[in-house]
């Protein structure tokens, strides 16, 4: 393994104090690996082994499979093309690609250059993308031509008008319209030096709890450690076939153990174009999928569908479920229905990931959200005054460790609130510890809605509602939903002098402002006043408790 070069960590990203970095290196967590070199090594070791299967990515919409050798060559070729367009080390590139092979070609090309992918989701629209591009001062934006019936070239035109730093819109696929196709970039080989392992590799998105989403700076060293740890705990080896069902850019399917963990192990990644059992089950049968990850609502649908499917799901060993709390009743049904081991995962793009162990007692697997990957993950459960609570008491989860960030990217003020002085991340989750050292997620203190694993910052939606001329005030809270776990309810006070508006018109207004569809309130309730706390602040707790009208 190469010796790590001196720290090159970006001044925009708070990093680990030297004594922690030394400790994590000495413990063998940070091994000086980088993503670019990792792919190079795997391609040298087994060039002809399949790395990526894209079932609908072929020229005729048929199956396309790339070997490790081919992925490596493609990443080089694209790195050359991007370099020719002036994209260099440290530049930010917003990547908004669906579950297609190009996603991997693009991110490995950027890793090789040392440019930083900013991982947007296909569901994001003008509001989110223009913000990411402007805030990150992105020089390029990578899109599919279209996906799910939506034309991303139209979105890109709007984004470019709002975010002048974006010099290049690059389109995966042939129909680039006014923009440039990835396939048409120059292919003159270039020599690139590998970025330092402690340099930033990418910016991941936070579900957030504030008006604007925060960007999460992850380094090669720290992220690769989380992959190695995840592979060990999830049993991922070169024999594994991981089905990527959730959006590939999301931290869960990317790293827990996800596509990158699988590639690290030399296994095979199969991309699932849609999460429905109608698409996924035939793929599991045909590709002999061994492991996959789902959010709870999908796990419910799959469990139900598995009891009546004719497809052979016997290759499936492990189903990871996480992103939101999985109910114990639903968890109990997984193993019998799907004939595999359930593994609960409680993770966050900021770092800390907890897994139930494959050999944990069945009761632990269905009743807890697991325990941390690393012996060096430090966990504190505290009260409102940051005082440690006795084991078994529910409190705020704080964490610090070898793959948990010490601060968001370019957010010094927010960081003072989200991290303790000694570097613990305030997760905003309310948890308790069991005697066996497992965590149980009991709730949330952050102002967020967890809509079946999709996180929505209340303040972000409130700001969009407040932009409507008839809206005097708005508060967005979670309400229970039998399928999603939570859905979004917006309580709105209209201006006394305004023309009356309908709930449907307000939803359409928010959607029209270019917000991702999953953030549009599921329900809008008009009211005359909000419940207040003792000191006169709006009590979201009381709003949440309001009867569902």
Site of interaction with ligand DBH (CB under 6 A): 251-252, 255-256, 322-323, 345, 347-349, 353
Q: What is the dihedral of CA 75, 107, 65, 46, to 10 degrees?
A: 60
Say if CB 429 and CB 392 are below 8 A apart: no
Q: Which residues pair with 431 in a beta bridge?
A: 395, 441
Nearer to ligand DBH, 261 or 514 (CB): 261
**In the range 126-185, which residues lie near ligand AMP by CB under 6 A?**
none
| Nearest-approach distance from CB 246 to ligand DBH, in angstroms | 9
* Residue found under tokens 């048929």: 62
Q: Which of 125, 444, 451, 540: binder of ligand AMP (CB under 6 A)?
A: 444
Nearer to ligand AMP, 197 or 322 (CB): 322
Q: Which does 369 bind (CB under 5 to 8 A by kind): ligand AMP, ligand DBH, none?
A: ligand AMP
| Nearest-approach distance from CB 458 to ligand AMP, in angstroms | 14
Determine the straight-line distance between the first and last CA of the chain, rounded to whole angstroms: 62
Q: Which residues pair with 217 in a beta bridge?
A: 203
**In the range 69-98, which residues lie near ligand AMP by CB under 6 A?**
none
Q: What is the dihedral of CA 301, 302, 306, 310, to 10 degrees?
A: 100
Q: Which does 429 bind (CB under 5 to 8 A by kind): ligand DBH, ligand AMP, none?
A: ligand AMP
Nearer to ligand DBH, 83 or 404 (CB): 404
Contacts 24+ apart (CB under 8 A), 456-460: 456/207, 456/488, 456/518, 456/519, 457/207, 457/208, 457/209, 457/210, 457/211, 457/213, 458/209, 458/540, 459/209, 459/210, 459/211, 460/208, 460/210, 460/211, 460/212, 460/213, 460/515, 460/519
Q: Which does 131 bind (CB under 5 to 8 A by kind): ligand AMP, ligand DBH, none?
A: none
Q: Which does 374 bind (CB under 5 to 8 A by kind): ligand AMP, ligand DBH, none?
A: none
Q: Pick from 104, 108, 158, 153: which is nearest to 133 by CA?
A: 158
Q: How far is CA 110 from CA 35, 82, 106, 119, in A?
A: 10, 8, 6, 12
Q: Which of 83, 231, 251, 292: binder of ligand AMP (CB under 6 A)?
A: 251
DSSP state of 495: -
Question: Which of the stretches 146-154, 241-249, 301-309, 317-325 binds ligand AMP when contact is defined by CB under 6 A?
Answer: 317-325
| Nearest-approach distance from CB 532 to ligand AMP, in angstroms | 27
Nearer to ligand DBH, 51 or 324 (CB): 324
Say if CB 315 and CB 289 are below 8 A apart: yes
Q: Which residues pair with 457 in a beta bridge?
A: 448
Say if CB 488 and CB 521 are below 8 A apart: yes
Q: Which of 83, 206, 356, 418: binder of ligand AMP (CB under 6 A)?
A: 206
| Nearest-approach distance from CB 327 to ligand AMP, in angstroms | 10
| Nearest-approach distance from CB 325 to ligand AMP, in angstroms | 4
Q: How far is CA 285 from CA 288, 290, 316, 336, in A?
A: 5, 10, 9, 18
Nearer to ligand AMP, 40 or 410 (CB): 410
| Nearest-approach distance from CB 67 to ligand AMP, in angstroms | 32
> Which H/E stretch holds residue 197?
none
| Nearest-approach distance from CB 438 to ligand DBH, in angstroms | 15
Nearer to ligand AMP, 70 or 128 (CB): 128
Residue showing the smallest CB distance to ligand AMP in the complex: 207
> What mask, x for binding ligand AMP by CB under 6 A, covers residues 207 to 236?
x-----------------------------
- Write phi, then psi, for 52 (nearest 5 degrees): -130, 130
Q: CA-CA distance, 62 to 54, in Å (whole number)?
A: 8
In degrees, rounded to 5, the angle at the alpha carbon of residue 544 between the alpha carbons of residues 542 and 547 is: 90
Nearer to ligand AMP, 420 or 527 (CB): 420
Q: Which residues pair with 215 in a beta bridge?
A: 205
Q: Helix axis angle, 296-306 relative to 328-338, nearest 10°?
A: 40
Nearer to ligand DBH, 252 or 408 (CB): 252
Q: Is 455 in the site for ligand AMP (CB under 6 A)?
A: yes
Nearer to ligand DBH, 201 or 353 (CB): 353
Q: Which does 441 bind (CB under 5 to 8 A by kind): ligand AMP, ligand DBH, none?
A: ligand AMP
**In the range 318-377, which residues lie near ligand AMP by CB under 6 A?**
322-325, 344-350, 369
| Nearest-approach distance from CB 345 to ligand DBH, in angstroms | 5
* Residue found under tokens 């367009």: 85
| Nearest-approach distance from CB 292 to ligand DBH, in angstroms | 13
- Residues of the shown chain interacting with ligand AMP in the complex, contacts defined by CB under 6 A: 206-207, 251, 322-325, 344-350, 369, 427, 429, 441, 444, 450, 455
């Amino acid at each position: 393994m190469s010796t790590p070069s001196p720290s090159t960590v970006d001044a925009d990203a708070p990093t680990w104090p030297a004594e922690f970095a030394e400790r994590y290196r000495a413990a063998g967590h940070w091994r000086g690996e980088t993503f670019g070199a990792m792919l190079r090594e795997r391609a040298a070791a087994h060039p002809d082994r399949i790395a990526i299967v894209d079932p609908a990515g072929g020229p005729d919409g048929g199956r396309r499979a790339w070997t490790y050798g081919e992925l490596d060559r493609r990443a080089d070729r694209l790195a050359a093309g991007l370099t020719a367009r002036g994209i260099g080390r440290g530049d930010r590139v917003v990547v908004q690609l669906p579950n297609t092979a190009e996603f991997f070609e693009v991110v490995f090309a950027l890793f090789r250059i040392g440019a930083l992918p900013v991982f947007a989701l296909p569901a994001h629209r003008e509001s989110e993308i223009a913000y990411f591009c402007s805030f990150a001062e992105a020089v390029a934006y990578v899109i599919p031509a279209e996906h799910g019936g939506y034309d991303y070239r139209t979105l890109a035109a709007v984004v470019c008008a709002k975010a002048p730093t974006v010099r290049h819109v690059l389109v995966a696929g042939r129909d680039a319209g006014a923009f440039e196709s990835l396939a048409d970039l120059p292919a003159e080989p270039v020599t690139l030096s590998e970025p330092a392992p402690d340099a930033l590799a990418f910016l991941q998105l936070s579900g957030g709890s504030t008006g604007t989403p925060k960007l999460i700076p992850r380094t090669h060293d720290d992220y690769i450690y989380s992959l190695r740890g995840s592979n060990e705990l999830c049993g991922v080896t070169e024999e594994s076939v991981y089905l990527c069902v959730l959006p590939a850019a999301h931290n869960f399917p990317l790293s827990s153990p996800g596509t990158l963990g699988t590639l690290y192990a030399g296994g095979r990644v199969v991309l699932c174009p849609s999460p429905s059992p109608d698409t996924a089950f035939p793929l599991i049968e045909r590709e002999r999928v061994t492991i996959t990850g789902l959010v709870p609502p999908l796990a419910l649908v799959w469990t139900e569908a598995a009891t009546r499917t004719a497809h052979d799901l016997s290759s499936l060993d492990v189903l990871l479920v996480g992103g939101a709390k999985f109910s114990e009743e639903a968890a109990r049904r997984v193993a019998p229905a799907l004939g595999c081991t359930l593994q609960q995962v409680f993770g966050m793009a900021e770092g800390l990931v907890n897994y139930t162990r494959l050999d944990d007692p069945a009761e632990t697997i269905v009743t807890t959200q697991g325990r941390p990957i690393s012996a060096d993950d430090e966990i504190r459960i505290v009260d409102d005054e940051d005082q440690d609570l006795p084991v078994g008491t529910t409190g705020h989860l704080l964490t610090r460790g070898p793959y948990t960030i010490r601060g968001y990217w370019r957010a010094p003020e927010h960081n003072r609130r989200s991290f303790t002085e000694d570097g613990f991340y305030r997760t905003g989750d309310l948890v308790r510890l069991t005697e066996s050292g497992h965590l149980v997620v009991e709730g949330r203190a952050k102002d967020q809605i967890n809509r079946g694993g999709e996180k929505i910052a209340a303040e972000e939606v409130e700001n969009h509602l407040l932009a409507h001329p008839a809206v005097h005030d708005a508060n967005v809270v979670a309400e229970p939903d039998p399928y999603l776990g939570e859905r979004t309810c917006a309580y709105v006070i209209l201006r006394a002098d305004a023309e009356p508006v309908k709930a449907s018109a307000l939803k359409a207004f928010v959607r029209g402002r270019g917000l991702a569809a999953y953030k549009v309130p599921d329900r809008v309730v008009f009211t005359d006043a909000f419940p207040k706390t003792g000191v006169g602040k709006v009590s979201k707790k009381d709003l949440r408790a309001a009867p569902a009208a």
